[in-house]
Chains A and B, each alone.
Chain A
């Protein structure tokens, strides 16, 4: 039972354009969401997060949008850069686990071409 889903396994974008990565979840107990970036053979690196009391959080080129009623979140990267090429995981957690247990999606591989 995949509680966090990233339906697009890959995404290709040209440098300078916007990258939009999507994530859906099913567990209504989730109320804190995170995006991680991962390079091959490395651990995930935290990018940005959002609490369920917000619908948008912005940090530089990265913006995360949350639609709680649709149980959907998205990560926007603009402008995209070749160095953004990596696998992006969304993750969710909730107060029922003390915000400790992270449930990850399957990841989306982003390729930004020059």
Chain B
């Protein structure tokens, strides 16, 4: 069964609105979770590393004020795309790292379409 879940699986929103994506680790407590973004026919690009109880670490070029990450518990991390614009339309994937094995398990992804 799924180890990591994401909700919603797809979302369509109007430009200027904010969208929250949830990532849940179902089988283990994840101190560290990751958020990736994938454009069509391109690689998965790491956006940020989410650490439970502390601020997320963002990769170069990723606006932390636009992509708000909250890792409030050991099983939940959220990504909020604030004031979304059409160029934010993408496939967002989270992963959770199993602290026992260091293996990253990926969620099914969320397709965001901003009109």
A77-110 at interface with B (beta carbon < 8 Å): 89, 99-107
Chain A, interface SS category: loop
> In the complex, which residues of chain A have a beta carbon less than 8 angstroms from the beta carbon of B34?
100, 102
Q: How large is the interface on A (under 10, 10 to 19, 20 to 34, 35 or more residues)?
A: 20 to 34
Please, which residue of chain B has its CB at the minimum distance from the CB of A43? Answer: B106
Query: Are B105 and A107 in contact, with the CB atoms below 8 A?
Result: no
Given A100-B49, A100-B97, A44–B43 Cβ distance below 8 Å? no
Task: Please choose the segment from B62-70, B76-84, B107-115 that sits at the chain A interface, where 4 or more of its residues have CB less than 8 A away.
Answer: B107-115
With A43-B95, A44-B106 as contacts: A104 and B44 at CB distance below 8 Å: yes
Q: Flag if B43 contacts A43 (CB, 8 Å).
A: no
Q: A42-B109, A46-B103, A99-B102 are in contact. List 16 more A-B contacts (CB 8 A).
A: A36-B106, A41-B9, A43-B4, A43-B106, A44-B106, A46-B104, A46-B105, A100-B32, A100-B34, A100-B102, A101-B49, A102-B104, A104-B43, A105-B43, A106-B43, A107-B41
Q: Would you call B102 and A44 a contact (CB within 8 A)?
A: no
B46 close to A (CB within 8 Å): yes
B42 proximal to A (CB < 8 A): yes
Does A45 touch B at the CB level, under 8 Å? yes
15 of the cross-chain contacts (CB-CB < 8 Å) are: A2-B43, A36-B106, A41-B91, A42-B108, A42-B109, A99-B102, A100-B34, A100-B49, A100-B102, A101-B49, A102-B34, A102-B46, A103-B46, A104-B43, A104-B45
